[in-house]
Amino acid sequence: MSLLKRILGRPTAFESFSDQEKRRLLEFNAAALRMEQMARTQGNSITFSKADSQSQLLKRLSGTELAQLEQIRTLYDKADATSGPEAIALYREISQLAPWDEVCLMSIGVEHAQAGRFDQAIEWLGRAAQINPANTRVRDNLMAVQVAGGRRGY
């Protein structure tokens, strides 16, 4: 049982993918996902000449997962283009679709920190660190926010 499934107590999206593969899926831009969707409607799938493992990831997605990944990417693009409460709302929506994405949770924490809400920032960054303790960006942000909020380091 994955750590995330134990934390959340329920199945999560993209269950057949490893955590590393899920992170790689989030690297696809909206155009690549739309191209894959169009190729599937024509009865085939796209292939990336430089990264065949990437195309294999796309081929493994169910139609529902591909649509969900497109939705996540669209929300990310909107969230990354804004800040404050609007960004937090968009990142929270992403976190519902991809609860395994520690970068999304980190982004929520950073938005709270920038608004001076250090307790909320620490909570979200702590969740992100719990999902992927190896992510140094998450750990560094958590430590910085703890210091800024007058708390001991991580």
Q: Do 43 and 65 fall within a single domain?
A: yes
- Count of domains in the chain? 2
Q: Which of 81, 97, 123 is the last residue of a domain?
A: 81
Whether residue 58 has pLDDT greater than 80: yes
d(CA 38, CA 144) in angstroms, rounded, equals 44
- 105 contacts: CB under 8 Å, gap ≥ 6: 91, 95, 124, 125, 127, 128, 131
Q: Do 59 and 92 fall within a single domain?
A: no
Q: Which of 81, 110, 128 is the last residue of a domain?
A: 81
Q: What is the CATH number of the domain that holds 114?
A: 1.25.40.10
Q: pLDDT tens digits, residue range 7-53?
A: 555 555 688 899 899 999 999 999 889 888 888 888 765 555 545 67
Q: Is residue 6 part of a domain?
A: no
pLDDT for res 111? 97
Which pTM does this prediction carry?
Answer: 0.81
Average pLDDT, the chain: 87
For residues 19 and 100, is the Cβ–Cβ distance under 8 A?
A: yes
Q: What are phi and psi of 99, to 5 degrees?
A: -65, -10
Range of the domain at 75: 12-81
Q: pLDDT tens digits, residue range 117-146?
A: 999 999 999 999 999 999 999 999 999 999
d(CA 52, CA 2) in angstroms, rounded, equals 27
